[in-house]
Amino acid sequence: MNKITIDPVTRLEGHGKIDIFLNDGGEVENAYFQVPEFRGFERFCEGRPAGELNRITPRICGVCPWAHHMASTKCLDDLYKVEPPPTAKKLREMAYSIYSFYDKIINFYFLAAPDFVVGSDAPAAERNIVGLINRVGVEIGKKVIATYKDSQKLLELLGGRTIHPVWGLPGGVSKGITDEQRKEIAEKCREYVDFAQYSIGIFHDLVLAEKKHVDVIVGDVYNMKSYYMGLVDEDNKVNFYDGHIRVVDPDGKEFARFHPRDYMDHIEEIVLPWTYLKFPYLKKVGWKGIVDGKESGLYRVAPLGRLNASDGMATPLAQKEHDRMYDTLGGKPAHHTLAFHWARLVELLYSAERALELAEDAETSGACIRNVPENTPSEGVGVVEAPRGTLFHHFWTDENGIVRKVNLIVATGNNYGAMCYSIKRAASKLIKDGKPGPELLNMVEMAFRAYDPCLACATHTLPGHTPLIVTIRDSKGEALEVVER
Amino acid sequence: MSDKQDDIKTLIIGMGNIIMSDDGVGIRIARVLSDRLSGKQDVDVRETPLTGMNLVTMIEGYETAIIIDAIKTVEPAPGVLHKFDLDELALTMHITSPHGTNLYTAVELGRRCGLKMPRKITIFGIEIEDATVFSEECTPVIESRLSAIADEIMKQL
């Protein structure tokens, strides 16, 4: 059997490795996206006061710290059975919307746009934001940096820190804002709405206006018919902070709608021998392997998953872009994996609009920011929509609030089966006769980059890159060709 | 962010994840250095888990930036200190960093967009043993070397 390996071997912290196995005819037989092992998180948490967990879990991941902070904080609400006052809820959702906005800027300008605008066939060294500004102009870079810095400052103002917030408490938050601060935040959020529209304009002008890009997005290489999951409000509109979890089937029909506390009735996980990350799947459909279709329990989360699982967006401009996207893609649900990038931009606009709505609401700067918990803790569940998908935190404690057990289903984990499927599908379409085409590395990488996977517990690297090595082996295991960058 | 005072010329950054055993060695060393440099008015010491744009906004406005991080090379010898200039990482200018961009590209972006980037950026990489176990402690071999590594870096400041 032939084997192709894409292995970012020298990343310091957790890395994924892709093995593509060919049959004797040189066609793709299997693809494995392996994720490294991290050990001891549960034991690390056991015996600690539960109140510490919303400051510990953000350190699992430097990319999604606010998502973990918010999921853990909501989990603490549920653990102590305390309802935060309206001001606290609005503050939390406003901060979380700003964080979502900030995260999506990075994804679009640093990861997605260069692939399209600079081109998937461009040298890797040019396919980055510097390559982007070389093509489009330095003003884009200046706008990105200015907006990035502004949103960092707002997050620090609200959460105490930009990256590892020290803010949420069971029943509320530790610090509110003044009317003046709220108005300043609203002013910034108006700029964010403009910036989101500007970003969508770039996507339309530089990506969607090019037929070759649209052909790739709607083509057969990046397609998967799956179930979709996301948090929705009472009107089934996308909500990042709160609501019920809705699942639709590959035809777009509602399959389930449940309270986050009941997630274990709907989601199961399976362990496969070749990777350390578990595969979640829909319990009522069952595990059928890494396959697509209505009979497969694989589901997708994150931007496209959320939009597919909803009846639309709760803000007007985002709803308009949502409609435009589905009109172009041929209706809802859209199964085009690269449409994750477009859906992420719809959400960028939603994040800005929602943050603005909350910043314009006088109750967000109210005085009552916490209800002090009075109940004895035992078990709690907290769920938010992380940028990379539905994030579940589940804590069990003794009567003194000391942690006995922790279960997390992280956002990327939900998409793990789908990512493996997407990699295999892309590889199958691109590798013929055992020979990877010149764009193989990037085209396969694009399949999982659309999901913006988050595999590690730390996100810094030295030397700061993720090398890819493709090794093509013959049926005896001998390397025939190594492609490296 | 870059809300620094004008008279502070040098920024020392400890990078890493403080709950992932040796992954946090950069932060542990930065804390030692912070104590040792507490009387010096022209040096800031900070911590971060993130590279890319986050680092660029941190180092903006300083004349010199020193970044201390964990590293694992092909022939690991835990506790060994490596030293790089940013330019030595030029070949890593790929968009393969999973959630943004690498430091070299981010600094290049900053410069192109008019940010005042440090004249000199030095990176110290400390060879580690294990960064896969959740722990607030480094592995014993790294724990035992923390003070000596801080000494070595102090000599090279």
The domain ranges of chain B are: 10-156
- Whether residue A455 is contained in a domain is answered as yes
Q: How far is A313 from chain B (nearest CA, A)?
A: 25
Mean pLDDT value across residues B124-150: 92
pLDDT range class, residue A36, cuts 50, 70, 90: low
| Predicted local distance difference test score (pLDDT) of residue A48 | 97
User: Which of A59, A107, A124 faces B94 most closely, judged by CB atoms?
Assistant: A124
In a domain? residue A289: yes
Torsion angle of the four alpha carbons B32, B33, B38, B41, in this order, in degrees rounded to the nearest 10: -160
The yes-or-no verdict on residue B100 having pLDDT over 70 is: no
Whether A59 and B115 lie within 8 Å, measured CB to CB: no
Residues A283 and A191 in one domain: no
What is the reported pLDDT for B26?
A: 93
- Looking at A302-306, A326-330, B40-44, which range is the least confident one? B40-44
| Rounded Cα gap, residues A395 and A45, in angstroms | 10
pLDDT at B49: 83
Measure CB to CB from residue B19 to each of A36, A44, A111 and give the nearest one.
Answer: A44
Pair (A155, A103) in one structural domain = yes
Whether A156 and A216 share a structural domain: yes
Q: Tell me if A466 and B89 make a contact (CB, 8 A cut-off).
A: no
Per-residue pLDDT tens over the stretch A84-101: 999 999 999 999 999 999
CA-based R_g, chain A, Å: 22
Does residue A66 or residue B54 have the better pLDDT? A66
Residue for token pair 């910043």: A359
pLDDT at res. A451 = 86
- Closest partner CB to A44 (pick from B23, B70, B134): B134
Q: Give which of A271, A241, A266 is closest to A254, Cα–Cα.
A: A266
Predicted confidence at residue A237, as pLDDT, reads 98
Q: A485: pLDDT confidence band, cut at 50, 70 and 90?
A: very low
Q: Are residues A342 and A330 in the same domain?
A: no
pTM: 0.92
Residues of chain A neighbouring B139 (CB-CB closer than 8 A): none
Least confident span in A107-111, A164-168, B119-123: A107-111
Place A8 in a pLDDT band, splitting at 50, 70 and 90: very low
Q: What is the largest CA-CA distance in chain A?
A: 71
Does the beta-carbon distance from B17 to A466 stay under 8 Å? no
Distance from CA of B101 to the nearest CA of A (A): 6
Average pLDDT of the residues in A408-436: 86
Render the burial of A181-209: b for 16+ CB within 10 Å, e for the rest.
Answer: bbeebbebbbbbbebbbebbebbeebbbe
pLDDT at A472 over 60: no
Partners of residue A19 on adjacent β-strands: A5, A32
Torsions phi, psi of A94, nearest 5? -65, -50
Q: Which fold has domain B10-156?
A: Rossmann fold (3.40.50)
Among A358-362, A412-416, B10-14, which stretch is predicted with the lowest mean pLDDT?
A412-416
Q: Kindly report the average pLDDT of chain A as a whole number.
A: 88
CB contact under 8 A, B74 and A110: no
Region A23-48: mean pLDDT is 80
The residues that bridge with A227 in the sheet, in sequence order, are A299
Across A182-186, A464-468, B81-85, B117-121, least confident range? A464-468
Q: Does A466 touch chain B (CB under 8 A)?
A: yes
Residues A209 and A303 in one domain: no
A63, A138, A462 member nearest B112 (Cβ): A138
pLDDT band of A401, cuts 50, 70, 90: very high
pLDDT value of position A278: 86
Beta strands in A264-359 (DSSP E): 267-270, 279-282, 299-300
Q: Where in the sequence is the domain holding A299, given as residue range(s)?
A: 224-335
pLDDT band with cut points at 50, 70 and 90 for residue A476: low
- CA atoms of A225 and A270, how far apart (whole Å): 21
- Mark whether A362 and A464 lie in a shared domain: no
Residue A26 has pLDDT above 90, yes or no: no
Claim to verify: residue A246 and residue A321 sit in the same structural domain: yes
Q: Are residues A216 and A294 in the same domain?
A: no
Which of B50, B69, B74 is nearest residue A462 as measured by Cβ atoms? B69
pLDDT at B59 over 60: yes
Residues A315 and A288 in one domain: yes
Confidence of residue B99 (pLDDT cuts 50, 70, 90): low
- pLDDT of A13: 33
Question: Does A153 touch chain B if contact means CB atoms closer than 8 Å?
Answer: yes
Is residue A284 included in any domain, yes or no? yes
Is residue A235 within 8 A of residue A344, CB to CB? The reply is: no
Same domain (yes/no): A158, A209: yes
Given a cut of 90, is residue B149 above it in pLDDT?
A: yes
Examine the domain organization and report whether A322 and A243 are in the same domain: yes
For residue A62, what pLDDT is reported?
Answer: 67
End-of-domain residue from the set A309, A335, A361: A335
Domains: count for chain A: 3
Q: Which residues neighbour A397 within 8 Å (Cβ) at sequence distance 6 or greater?
A: A50, A79, A377, A378, A379, A403, A404
In the predicted structure, residue A466 carries a pLDDT above the cut 50:
no
Q: Is B139 on the interface with A (CB under 8 A)?
A: no
Mean pLDDT of A216-226: 94
Give the rounded percent of residues in chain A with a pLDDT score beyond 90. 65
Could you tell me how many CB contacts below 8 A there are between chain A and chain B?
177
Q: Which tokens go with A337? A: 């994996």
Q: Round to whole Å and give the CA distance between B119 and A60.
A: 33
- Does residue A383 sit in helix, strand or coil? strand
Q: Bridge-partner residues for A306, per DSSP?
A: none
State how far the Cα of A68 lies from the Cα of A62, in Å rounded to an integer. 10
The reply to whether A194 and A340 lie within a common domain is yes
A395, A406 Cβ separation under 8 angstroms: yes
- Chain A residue with CA closest to B135: the answer is A44
Tokens of residue B142, six digits: 């790294």
Tell me which of A35, A130, A164, A457 to substitute to probe the interface with B (most B C-beta atoms closer than 10 Å).
A130
Classify residue A351 by burial, with Cβ atoms within 10 Å: 0-12, 13-18, 19+: buried
Pick from B73, B93, B97: which is nearest to A466 by CB? B97
How many helices (H) and strands (E) are present in chain A, helices listed first?
Answer: 16, 18
Bridge partners, A93 (sequence order): none
- A212 or A127, which is more confident: A212
Q: Amino acid identity, residue A402? A: I
Q: Is residue A430 part of a domain?
A: yes
> Residue A219 has what pLDDT?
92
> Is B155 at the interface with chain A, CB within 8 A?
no
**A395 within a domain of the structure (yes/no):** no
Q: Tell me the CA distances in angstroms from A45 to A399, B105, B140, one per residue in order.
A: 16, 37, 21
Specify the 3-state DSSP secondary structure of A169: strand
**Among A266-280, A406-420, B27-41, B79-93, the least confident range:** B79-93
Peptide bond into A303 cis (omega under 30): no
B 48-107: CB under 8 A from A: 48-54, 56-57, 69-74, 84, 89, 92-105
Provide mean pLDDT across the span A438-442.
67
Arithmetic mean of pLDDT, A29-55: 84
- The verdict on residue A436 lying in a domain is yes
pLDDT of A429: 87
Task: Give the mutation candidate from A460, A466, A468 for the B interface (greatest B CB count, under 10 A).
Answer: A460
Cross-chain residue pair A462–B54, CB shorter than 8 Å: no
Average pLDDT of span B143-150? 97
List of chain B residues whose C-beta atoms are within 8 Å of the C-beta of residue A120: none
User: Are B126 and B68 in contact, with CB atoms under 8 Å apart?
Assistant: yes
Name every chain B residue with its beta carbon within 8 A of the beta carbon of A157: none
The arithmetic mean of pLDDT across residues A161-167, rounded, is 91
What single letter denotes the amino acid at residue A366? G
**CB nearest to A133's CB, from B101, B104, B112:** B112
Indicate the helix (H) or strand (E) that contains A351.
helix A339-359
- In our burial notation (b when 16+ CB lie closer than 10 A, e otherwise), range A41-57 reads beebbeeeebbebbbbb
pLDDT of residue B93: 31
pLDDT digits (tens, 9 = 90+) for A235-280: 999 999 999 999 999 999 999 999 999 999 999 999 888 877 889 9
* Chain B interface, best mutation among A444, A462, A483, A485, by max B CB count within 10 A: A462
